[in-house]
Structure 1
Amino acid sequence: MKRILLTGVDGQLGQELQRTLAPLGEVKGVGRQTLDLTSSDRICQTIAEIKPDLIVNAAAYTAVDKSETESELAHLINGVAPTMMAAEQARNGGALIHVSTDYVFDGSKNTPYTEEDAPNPLGVYGKSKLAGEEGIQKTSQDLQSVMGEFRYVILRTAWVYGTYGKTNFVKTMLRLGADREEIRVVADQVGTPTWAYDIANAIAILGQQLISEPATVPSGIYNFTNSGVASWYDFAIAIFEEAQQLGMTLKVQRVVPITTSEYPTPATRPAYSVLAGQKTAAALGSHSSHWRQGLRKMLTELYSN
């Protein structure tokens, strides 16, 4: 039976991954209580003990605004930890899937970002995630002559929400929509809302291929989101429409579009962060579903619970 080490097991993506990775083998899930990602020694020790065939690193420092004042912690978790995982897993002879983000881009394009586009993160969070990507790639290059090819996938995704976890944009909108008649939402940031389950399912397929058919998934960067494009305002409108169709009681009457400048935050967000998914679709054998379909399924699951 294959052994899989899953980090970030308690997060909204990690909890979905527990379900989708289970058919692949024995999943050992670790969270912040059991694996301190600021400790390189603990990372190496854990990998050496488990000897996983596959590591799925779904753990991250994701407090985008807070990272502006906690840059060292963000860099340790998002930059140093994945690099250490790659080095130790290369020695172990296994594969790695590392989850990254659209925030490695500055949002200056108006067409979807491909895996070949040059990153240019705007804030500490994006810079720390880019450091993790670069650390994995450099580790692979440095060790190739000594240990052979290191199999890895860096999976960039965006605007993640899910049934699990304490908070995300969907849950925040539902909470506000139950309490307020009017909600103001940013309308000039554009991306693709992506359901955590769909990401977890894609990771499971890529993980199976990395373990059993590595030639079908060349190591490198892959983009995965649901399909379609939306602003945060569009997303909020859709959340309330779908929720009401499911019978949820909401107080909200008006959703007002505002600009980013009207809702200042410590960290600057990319104005456009749509990711092109053709490369990943070819690896998976199918295109991802539309973001609204994912939203409907998530809300149905949430409402049924």
Structure 2
Amino acid sequence: MKILITGANGQLGKHLVRAFEQSHTVIGLGRTELDVTNKEKVNTVISQLKPDIIIHSAAFTAVDQCESDPKRAFEVNGLGTGYVAQAASNINARMFYISSDYVFDGKKNSPYREDDEPNPLSTYGMSKWLGEKLVQKFNNGTIIRTSWLYGHDGKNFVNTMIKLGQENKELKVVNDQIGSPTYINDLGEVIIRLLNKESKIYHVSNTDACTWYEFARTIFEEMGYNPKLILPTTTFEYGARAARPSYSVLAHGAILKENISPPRPWKEALKAFIRKEKG
């Protein structure tokens, strides 16, 4: 199949290009080649390339920056996603949209199911939810919600902690937000298996859950740093600009119905990531 991947210069896009080009014809486009906020350009590029599948990973993912630049957040994550969905429909291409656990408000105390009603707390979450609705309206595409993503390319929590750990200083990390860290390589494997499955919403994350504080301590332990340098703090004390769900663990009912096993526990995935980083 011919697969177009948007956001190909981002951490997820880079990995997906590598993962899919082993068995498919892959075209990876970054923002310079495909600005998703330009409706005319999106239509022209997609109609010329005529891919069978579009994996839309282009996004404005800086959660706090979305609060200070909501216009860009909604243009990229919302309207841009709609433009891609419409262009995909015009050529009968199937669309896969990468969404987020931040579409939920965190008030639940059990894992969020695919049919739970979103209620985003932040501009980022709202813009991703708008993207979901436009995909459903224009393309009947597949929506993949994931959480706390990290990989070998680009900026993410794990790479930041590894870098900061080298400075041997105390770090305060929030201990009242619970979610599931997700290794991009594991997410990619599930996406490959979803290519020929029914178009609907799927939750894909590594299994088990933790707080950011617990996640950071585990990163330090695996790297051989001193975990006592990680100190717990509250979301209120930390004072981030954007509100985040206090609980955003995802249930995996939809992939289980397709006989796809959820990704391994997050601690196992983190160990694999660090082994690969250390070479």
1:220 paired with 2:200, answer yes
Output the CA distance in 1 between the equivalents of 2:183 and 2:147. Answer: 10
Aligned partner of 1:176 in structure 2 is 164
Output the CA distance in 2 between the equivalents of 1:156 and 1:95. Answer: 17
Output the CA distance in 1 between the equivalents of 2:117 and 2:23. Answer: 34
- Deviation string 1:31-52 (CA, Å, 9 cap, x unpaired) is 0121111101111111101000
How many residues align structurally? 279
Identity %: 40
Runs of 5+ consecutive residues of structure 2 not aligned to the other structure:
none
Choose from 239, 242, 251 the match for 1:267: 242
Aligned partner of 1:236 in structure 2 is 216
Q: CA deviation at 1:14?
A: 1.0
Letter in 2 for 1:82: T
Output the CA distance in 1 between the equivalents of 2:238 and 2:271. Answer: 28
Output the CA distance in 1 between the equivalents of 2:189 and 2:262. Answer: 12
Output the CA distance in 1 between the equivalents of 2:252 and 2:134. Answer: 23
**Which segments of structure 1 move beyond 3 Å, counting only runs of 4 or more?**
250-253
TM-score (norm 2): 0.96
Residue 205 of structure 1 contacts residue 284 of structure 1 at CA under 8 Å; is this kept in 2? no
Letter in 1 for 2:267: R
Equivalent residues in 2 for 1:151-162, closer than 5 Å? 152-162=141-151
Letter in 1 for 2:32: Q
Go from structure 1 to structure 2 and tell me whether the alpha carbon gap of 1:220 and 1:252 turns closer, same or farther (over 3 Å shift). closer
Go from structure 1 to structure 2 and tell me whether the alpha carbon gap of 1:221 and 1:20 turns closer, same or farther (over 3 Å shift). same
Equivalent residues in 2 for 1:14-163, closer than 5 Å? 14-140=13-139, 150=140, 152-163=141-152
1:188 paired with 2:163, answer no
- Deviation string 1:18-65 (CA, Å, 9 cap, x unpaired) is 122113421000001211111011111111010000000111010111
1:283 paired with 2:258, answer yes
Go from structure 1 to structure 2 and tell me whether the alpha carbon gap of 1:243 and 1:282 turns closer, same or farther (over 3 Å shift). farther
Aligned partner of 1:202 in structure 2 is 190
Output the CA distance in 2 between the equivalents of 1:75 and 1:24. Answer: 34
- Deviation string 1:85-139 (CA, Å, 9 cap, x unpaired) is 1112112111111000001011111100001111000111000000000011122
Letter in 1 for 2:211: S
Q: Secondary structure at 1:88's aligned position in 2?
A: helix
Q: Secondary structure at 2:22's aligned position in 1?
A: helix
Q: CA RMSD in A?
A: 1.3
Q: CA deviation at 1:284?
A: 5.2
